[in-house]
Structure 1
């Protein structure tokens, strides 16, 4: 069962332990199995976390914050989460958020209201875990590159006093 799961994708030790528990495997046997798989380098939370961050950041455009949350849900230790997500810096996040915003903007070609465009772009970035500072910078840059700067007509919903 473990090998079948690992053949589909890498898993954290905690994910595999939950799967073994669901199958009714004794906790002592689980420990032995997982220890042996670790010895064989088939299971390793550090490698899993690093691969997860690289893959999900590239393919889904997720922010460090969103990736950290996913890793915590997968049972990865906080220190390993920090180490894995620290490989991404603000420039990486801005580049990836820009790509996400540009894709979203292309899908909204028929939307002419700049307030709606700005709101939808900001929401798309927020769903991927980007903070207000990155989202505002990226939305402003993407819209100005496209020539859709709303020139102050729309309220700036990103700044709170």
Structure 2
């Protein structure tokens, strides 16, 4: 990786490949902090009287008298305390709560100024976390980031941190682990499983073919009775 996330200490997080936020991942992005290193307050300490929740009710479930801006602020704080979110995710959450667009834009702008919303940092942390924890390639990472509502330029800048050499190393590690678990299966079934694994992780066919062939050649060198790389290449075409 050539860039490091500045987002204060992603879901990519304990989720598998379901695209969750990087809250407890290797990238180290957790609850957002505001200037001075203090952790962002949640909705129960936001100073809005009876501490309204995002849906406009207080702790007793009674209708809150909070203004739309107070509700918007409390909702964003609550969501950000759970895990980092993109600007688009917070905007959508406020739309679902029927908070006026102009109010939502005002609150989002203030959170951005305070550094509590940072789409660039979110994308950087997501790429680092999901690649190292799940072995995802650039194609799969870009697909996940698009579901977070990020702009194309932000996504492109984030995935560009992951160079081709790193992708190849990760693909080889994935194949080597899977290859051991497929011993005893016939060649075609092994290849299908290896190719399917890499495809799900977002790796292209050419890279997958090369990595699988190399892995099977190395295995054959150690065990003459194992499938050869050339045979693997031929079986791929079947």
Normalising by structure 2, what TM-score?
A: 0.61
Give the secondary structure class of the aligned counterpart of 1:62: coil
1:73 equivalent in structure 2: 147
How big is the shift at 1:49? 0.8
1:19-46 superposed Cα distances (whole Å, 9 cap, x missing partner) = 1111222111111111111111111111
TM-score (normalizing by structure 1):
0.88
Task: Select which of 176, 188, 193 maps to 1:115.
Answer: 188
- C-alpha distance 106-20 of structure 1, shift in aligned 2 (>3 A): farther
Q: State how far apart, in whole Å, the 2-side matches of 1:113 and 1:8 are.
A: 47
Whether contact under 8 Å (1:125, 1:135) holds in the other structure is: yes
Q: Which structure has the larger Rg? A: 2
* 1:143 matches 2:216: yes
Aligned to 1:40: 114
More helix by percentage: 1
Query: Gaps (5+ residues) in structure 2?
Result: 1-74, 221-225
RMSD: 1.9
Q: Which has the higher contact order (CA 8 A, sep 6+)?
A: 1
Task: Using the TM superposition, give the Cα deviation of residue 150 of structure 1 relative to its aligned residue in structure 2, in angstroms.
Answer: 3.0
- Give yes or no for contact 2:214–2:229 (8 Å, CA) kept in 1: no
Number of aligned residues: 158
Distance 1:34 1:120, change over 3 A: same
The CA deviation at 1:62 is: 0.8
User: Which consecutive residues of structure 1, in runs of 5 or more, have no partner in the other structure?
Assistant: none
SS in 2 for 1:103: helix
